[in-house]
Structure 1
Amino acid sequence: MFTLNPLNLADAQMQQWIMLIVAGILGFIIGYISRQRTIRELEGELASVERAVDDCQRVPVASVAATDGETLVLNRIRARANEINFARIGLASPANADDLKVIVGVGPFLEKKLHAIGIYTFRQISNFTQEDIEKVNDIIEFFPGRIERDNWVGQAAQLVKKK
């Protein structure tokens, strides 16, 4: 009776090619839109993580409940530690700390202040520039010009050579 075989039509192969091309184009468009949405989501997530990292760097490190004047001072100093250019003077940790009290003019409490801002070694002090001296002097709330008068940089450089 009726023979409905689509392959018998004259333009059947042309229709199949057109449907294949349309399906490919639609797949590309849907994939492109999906990829762009994923990229926007990831960029938003990256921005929020970067903000969180910035917030962490601004928060005082290991703030202890202030019970006495020394702790208050150290917490205040610790909060400003990010103002120092550690890329220039170098990074150090408590594990490789030198006895900074060997430097004339540095006492026990001043050593604690220096540790609070991340200065642990003679090498870091020997790398101070004039700008670093002024910034550290301001942060540790020390007498203006005292670091230069006591020649911390020179003393630290000598101690580095002795090591």
Structure 2
Amino acid sequence: MFDLNPLNNPNATWQHWLLAIVAGLIGFVIGYISRKREAEALEPQLARLETEVEECLSSKAVASTSAQVRVAPLPVPPPPAPVVLPEPEPMPGVGFITPSPMVLPVATPADDLKIVEGIGPKIEELLNNEGILTFEQLAVTSPEHLTQILRAAGPRFQIQDPATWPRQAQLAADEDWDGLKQLQNELTAGRA
């Protein structure tokens, strides 16, 4: 019939196109016919659903135009009567305990320990972490204990000499600012 080999017949390309087009048309016709049958089978169901939608919309319109429904508030029950308990009768051999007032500790505001010559922000933080927050606490702390705190903090704090810190802190606690200033003028970088 036809020689479809393009190497034998250079004009066979149009035959390939023709076969592809014919196969596509046949597939389209078969698909159209089978889908048309499916669509015809679903038409009664579609018509039934459309009538249900119309009935629903019409009943909604009727309900919205009908008389307004009054909603009565629910009755609120009265609150229950307070329960009155009788006074307890004293038991023999048992005395009443009167509560003592509770004394809460008053938080002492932390002083600015950086006023002391030789104490900077980092050393103040170290002292605060050790519980030394005020000038009074620093004044009663021995220089040896302060040296131990500085040694435990690392080598960069070991160059500080806390020998005069308790004396400076005592002057600050007594609010002797002139005496503190005079002592600090005699010191060189916190050292005597």
Instruction: Give the alignment's TM-score, normalised by structure 2.
Output: 0.32
Structure with higher helix content? 1
The structure, 1 or 2, with the larger RCO (C-alpha pairs under 8 Å, 6+ apart) is: 1
